[in-house]
A and B are shown apart, each in its own frame.
Chain A
Amino acid sequence: NAGVTQTPKFQVLKTGQSMTLQCAQDMNHNSMYWYRQDPGMGLRLIYYSASEGTTDKGEVPNGYNVSRLNKREFSLRLESAAPSQTSVYFCASSTRPDREGQPQHFGDGTRLSIL
């Protein structure tokens, strides 16, 4: 049981390049999330998808887009990467929308550097 799988694990981009971070979960979870983690700033929510077919902005959505491809997959796209987007990106999933108190399950992250 793999849980939440993120690809790639590491990536270096040049300013202005685009890329898509992939996330897939095999736990049949309804809700999925994208976070970024920066030193001294904790976890910040970028986008989330409460269920298949829906997406909503989180705390820091600017510069990102998402696609909930199906129940398993939730991708994050950087259209024109900027150095400020250098971060560790985490995907998470949960079995129910947050208000029902279900914990989130995290992938091991994508470490993204933008030069």
Chain B
Amino acid sequence: AQSVAQPEDQVNVAEGNPLTVKCTYSVSGNPYLFWYVQYPNRGLQFLLKYITGDNLVKGSYGFEAEFNKSQTSFHLKKPSALVSDSALYFCAVRSNAGNNRKLIWGLGTSLAVNP
């Protein structure tokens, strides 16, 4: 069965420090992987995706994510956190095999960046 795990409900980091939000997945076939961000009282916004190619993917707002096939992980990273990065972050995955059209969503990680 396909699944996504975001092992941390909350991540706290000081402004200016690097941040990592973790995501691991399980799919049959090759994965399509996504990160989304949700600010309070707003819908989810797409940050970046991995489909194929370079394992390091760069996205919006200075975020990047590294696809690691052997560890089945797709961790979100940013070299220097901003207070404005405080939000809820969702990882999502889907297999590129078969007819399953549905994204599988993680439960989200709340990121708090402290000034």
Residues of chain A having any CB pair with chain B under 8 Å: 4, 40-45, 48, 50, 58-59, 90, 92, 97-99, 101, 103-109
Given A42-B108, A99-B94, A99-B96: A104 and B102 interface contact (C-beta under 8 Å): no
A99 touching B101, Cβ below 8 Å: yes
> Could you list 7 further interchain pairs (A-B, Cβ under 8 angstroms) beyond the known A50-B101, A109-B43?
A41-B107, A42-B90, A45-B103, A99-B101, A101-B49, A105-B46, A108-B42
- Chain A residues whose C-beta falls within 8 Å of the C-beta of B83 in the assembled complex: none
Residues of chain B having any CB pair with chain A under 8 Å: 32, 34, 36, 41-46, 49, 51, 90, 94, 96, 99-103, 105-108
Which of A42, A59, A101, A105 is the one whose CB lies under 8 Å from B106? A42
With the chains together, A43 CA to B45 CA distance in Å? Answer: 13
A91 closest partner in B (C-beta): B43
B46 touching A104, Cβ below 8 Å: yes
B46 closest partner in A (C-beta): A103
A109 closest partner in B (C-beta): B43
With the chains together, A99 CA to B94 CA distance in Å? Answer: 7
- Chain B residues whose C-beta falls within 8 Å of the C-beta of A50 in the assembled complex: 101
Of A48, A103, A106, most buried by chain B (CB within 10 Å of CB) is A103
With the chains together, A106 CA to B42 CA distance in Å? Answer: 9
- Chain A residues whose C-beta falls within 8 Å of the C-beta of B107 in the assembled complex: 40-42
With the chains together, A59 CA to B2 CA distance in Å? Answer: 13
- Chain B residues whose C-beta falls within 8 Å of the C-beta of A97 in the assembled complex: 101
- B51 CB, nearest partner CB in chain A, Å: 4
With the chains together, A90 CA to B44 CA distance in Å? Answer: 9
Which of B42, B49, B90, B99 is the one whose CB lies under 8 Å from A43? B90
With the chains together, A48 CA to B34 CA distance in Å? Answer: 19
